[in-house]
Amino acid sequence: MKINVIIGIVAVVALILGIVAVVGGGVIKEITQIGSVVGPDNPGFNHWSIGGITTHYKEQGAFTSTTTICSLKSPAASSTLVFASVKFTTSSTTASRIYIGKGAAPNATTSELGNGTIAANGYGIVVASTSPLTAGQDDIRVFAPSQYLNFSMATAQGTAANIGTFSPVAKCKAVWIEN
């Protein structure tokens, strides 16, 4: 009987200490902001910042009846282009040369990043080069704040006399990382 009393006292003391630890002695941290990503597709976000690295994503459908089919504005901070492409589901009624370059305005390309050809009424992808240049040269992949990545078309010969207006079905894409 003595052992039952001792076990009962120990149980009551343990219960009291447990209540005091949870109610009075515990530290409660208030969380003021929570959130989540609901899936891999997030069309409302054009940039992500993870671990102090901010990546910007842009996509645009092609303009019609013009030589500049897309113009994507770089971030409002110095940034490095890591990917740029244009994907055609229908090009033009004539074979075309596609130019990808950067410039200070939507229709002014001063530094070419890549070019390629697309067959008449064809489909295909042209990707800009993101390879580093040789030492001592300015890196054309580095964009000043709010510069433009321009995608333009010309006939396959690509001379000034052969530049016209085009109505492709295409999407232009680019990815920058802030410096």
Q: At residue 52, what are phi and psi to the nearest 5 degrees?
A: 85, 0
Residue-wise pLDDT for 37-96, tens only, equals 666 677 777 888 888 999 999 999 998 888 889 999 999 999 999 999 999 998 888 888
Is residue 160, in this structure, part of any structural domain at all?
A: yes
> What is the total count of domains within the chain?
1
> pTM of this prediction?
0.72
What CATH number does residue 86 fall under?
2.60.120
Q: Does 59 fall in a domain?
A: no
How far apart are alpha carbons 12 and 17 in whole angstroms? Answer: 9
Is residue 46 domain-resident? no
pLDDT 10s digits, 16-45:
655 555 555 556 667 666 666 666 677 777
What is the pLDDT averaged over residues 157-178? 77
Tell me whether residue 73 is in a domain.
Answer: yes
| Cβ within 8 Å of residue 111, ≥6 positions away | 101, 102, 103, 140
Does residue 55 lie in a domain region?
no
User: What domain range is 120 assigned to?
Assistant: 66-131+139-178
Does residue 75 belong to any structural domain of this protein? Answer: yes
The answer to the question of residue 113 being in a domain is yes
Q: Distance (Å, rounded) from C-alpha 163 to C-alpha 94?
A: 11
Q: Write the burial class of residue 76 (CB in 10 Å: 0-12 exposed, 13-18 middle, 19+ buried).
A: exposed
User: How many residues belong to the chain?
Assistant: 179
Residue 51, domain member (yes or no): no
